Structure 1
């Protein structure tokens, strides 16, 4: 009985050290460049690195919602500034509540279209509807040298003042991990608000400003959440009769020629949010400019083509804000603590199996790991699908997957080495004491 108590006590303590060893091993694997050579052979990992388990909930488990009739998308396509001005005149004639323009206008344009630019500036100045135009927060070279990679900005980039006399400015930055324009751009979240250093400016997101103008009570709940980034609760794409996609039913959209020809039901735009931006040369064209990968992509791993234009992403964010339909999650620290606790209790269980059921160890631990990982993944996916709660336990799942094999290394190598060194030190200490007496 005494022996079992002593052994049990050592298992709990050894489990702490073994858990620390597992996390140290993961740190070395993920941070030491010598280990990164194996990434070249990890074709599966490279295919899956841009997906999250909640993508399954977005793309396969959730049913498409009916169209959000408060928002209408308009494609500016290949039009020059004069024709965009004509689009705006026609749109404004049908009395939308808000017009949001997802495009920058600098100078007289790349083709030096002076007349078209003057016409556009005049239309934007005299438009009746509330106008929201995009801006971007940027870092100056001096700030970038000091804080590159940090969420600190000292420049608000906007269209030229001749176009923005009546406009609200709002930031259109969409968060991706792409470093360059040609990189794969996966958009999962957006910043609700940003401070501009050295100024009193606190511009909110482009979608948030459109929602605020449309419904002044809608944005306060977003800002009260206090999140640096909000996960976009995607609901769908625009109605596109050229593609078969169950999610292409969320937002009504007009192509550039439909607007210029006024080929739409007059009541479609009245009192609505109209978002004007580039969505291809025409609907259905194979265009990748200003197009992003999103969790609604039908191919959740090894994605072939980006699936959503920037204006449609903004429409999803507007819809989320107006419906107060946010994605909640735990803090990163809390998630890591949960992962650590799960790993520790797995190590305790595996230690008992190792000590008392040695012959069963490999089979029993592998079975437990497979079942546990599947249960946790099921919980993650369905929590997100049912109540829009995102639980991120990637580090903890990785630790659980490694626990069985690394625990054998701990008991077979690390622990024995430590005990051997400790015995030697104890023997030397005893010898010194005996010689001193």
Structure 2
């Protein structure tokens, strides 16, 4: 038995070496013919099926109201803030910047400077409200390491000095640049910028509304949190399977005060771009999410950034988090399942060598389907993300790699030992069809 399990351990190690080799090979882009397939599937996770198809329709979150700022000028946004403030919201978040990107404050380089009165109105509206949270953006210089930020993009002092707080609006998307395809499943609650700790925009909004629940969320101390999406705003184009989750006011609804006071009072108001008007299919500040109807080869993004922030705030205040398996547990689980597969395949190879290929391929297929279904169901039942990517990869290749190990690696090892007159004899050299001696 000791020799048997030692062989299994060596074979398992060889499986993972083969997986690492395959990973390095694909990074060399030698399979360019399959790039279109890979790109279509690269942003798909099995747990997306839970969001898009298995969950019941959520109730409307009455604590959060979204306001579309469209393409309004600073003067008009100031008027929106003043109108909304009359109805005493608990906090107002503005998902937009008020700065001059060039760093030059002349009217040619920064056209927004032409309306001096509008700028003064916006600064005064933010100051008078007293509960406005503005966004920042984490930036990296050319000298910064990967995933390291050393500066912030912020609104100009005339606006941020009157704000109650600021929070970064960056979301984890894997996009290489702003106009790249952006799929958002997670976000960073807290990030370090030049040795200073900064909270996400959504976390700051939740903190102003309920600091106790927000601190409970922060104490989880996770670098990255999976967003437990519950819904979208009204979607006339049907890009998601979810109904409306948040009350939404369009540009003119605010100016005409087309809402009841109870809709705003003591609520969280998030102002952001959601198209020129609601229903506008604009792609600006829009992301793919797990709620998208098309999980592979998506055609249209389905959620604006302001709505993603609303989903995060809702998750924090309800304490409805997504738990994740730590990476070390994922690796340990993959090794154990691979080891058990190698042991089982070794027994099959010993006692049923003629049926080895058929039996092992069937067992691999059953396991791949079972583990995939289990991952989806556990996420659905317990909101726990069981990451078994490594396990699935190991199970997919274990049968063939085990054959290579037995017919090539082990045979080569035994021949070397026999050549130097060490313990094993040539008669002990194995082939895939030769039962191993116990």
2:42 is the counterpart of 1:45? no
For 1:233-312, list aligned pairs within 5 A.
Answer: 233-241=228-236, 243=238, 245-312=240-307
SS in 1 for 2:334: helix
The whole-number CA distance in structure 1 between the counterparts of 2:422 and 2:48 is 59
CA displacement, residues 267-296 of structure 1 (integer Å, 9 cap, x when unaligned) = 211111000011111111121110011111
Alignment RMSD, CA only? 2.0
Structure 2 residue corresponding to 1:225, chosen from 220, 236, 258: 220
State the shift of 1:183 in Å: 1.4
The answer for unaligned runs of 5 or more in structure 2 is 426-438
2:172 to 157, 175, 179: 175
Partner of 2:114: 113
Mapped contact 1:29–1:35 kept (Cα < 8 A): no
Given candidates 107, 123, 126, the residue that maps to 2:125 is 123
Task: State the secondary structure of the residue aligned to 2:31.
Answer: helix
**Partners in 1 of 2:56 and 2:114 — Cα distance?**
46
- Unpaired runs of at least 5, structure 1: 1-7, 431-437
| Structure ranking higher in helix proportion | 1
Once the two structures are overlaid, the 10-residue window that deviates more, 377-386 or 39-48, is 39-48
The match for 2:432 is none
CA positional deviation for 1:241: 4.6
Deviation at 1:184, TM superposition (A): 1.1
Alpha-carbon spacing, 1:256–1:371, altered in 2? closer, same or farther (3 Å): same
Moved over 4 A (4+): none
Aligned to 1:154: 150
Q: Residues 413, 242 of structure 1: CA spacing in aligned structure 2 closer, same or farther, 3 A cutoff?
A: closer
In structure 1, distance between residues paired with 2:24 and 2:302: 32
Whole-angstrom CA distance in 2 between matches of 1:291 and 1:244: 12
Shift in Å at residue 42 of structure 1?
A: 5.1
1:348 matched to which residue of 2?
343
Rate the CA distance shift 1:325–1:184 in 2: closer, same or farther, 3 A: same
What corresponds to 1:20 in structure 2?
13
Contact 2:232 2:307 (C-alpha < 8 Å) held by counterparts: yes
Is the aligned partner of 1:62 residue 2:63? no
Aligned length: 415
Q: 8 Å contact 1:243–1:284 — kept in the other structure?
A: no
| Contact in 2 for aligned 1:64/1:249 (Cα 8 Å) | no
The equivalent residue for 2:140 is 139
CA distance in 1, matches of 2:323, 2:54: 18
CA shift for structure 1 position 111: 4.3
Separation (CA, whole Å) in 2 of partners of 1:89 and 1:206: 21
1:313-345, CA deviations, whole angstroms, 9 ceiling, x for partnerless residues? 000000000001111112111111101111111
Q: Distance in 1 between matches of 2:114 and 2:250?
A: 23
TM-score, length of structure 1 as denominator length: 0.90
The answer to whether the aligner puts 1:184 opposite 2:186 as a matched pair is no
Deviations, residues 86-135 of structure 1 (Å, cap 9, x unaligned): 1111111111111000011014754433232222112112225x111111
Q: Is the 8 A contact 1:242 1:283 kept in 2?
A: no
Contact 1:187 1:294 in 2 (8 A): yes
In the alignment, the residues of structure 1 paired with residue 65 and residue 223 of structure 2 have an alpha-carbon distance, to the nearest angstrom, of 28
- Relative to structure 2, which stretch is displaced further, 241-250 or 251-260? 241-250
CA distance in 1, matches of 2:194, 2:414: 56
Deviations 1:335-383 (A, max 9, x none): 1110111111101101110111011111111111111111111111011
Q: CA deviation at 1:242?
A: 5.4
Shift of 1:154: 2.6
Q: Is the 8 A contact 1:132 1:209 kept in 2?
A: yes
- Whether contact under 8 Å (1:279, 1:309) holds in the other structure is yes
Q: 1:413 to 1:245 in 2, by over 3 A?
A: closer
Any residues of structure 2 matched to 1:305-320 within 5 Å, and which?
305-320=300-315
Give the 3-state SS of the residue equivalent to 1:120 in structure 2: helix
Any conservation in 1 of the 2:241–2:292 contact (CA below 8 Å)? no
Query: What is the TM-score normalised by the length of structure 2?
Result: 0.90
In structure 1, the partner of 2:436 is none
Whole-Å separation in 2 of the counterparts to 1:21 and 1:221: 44
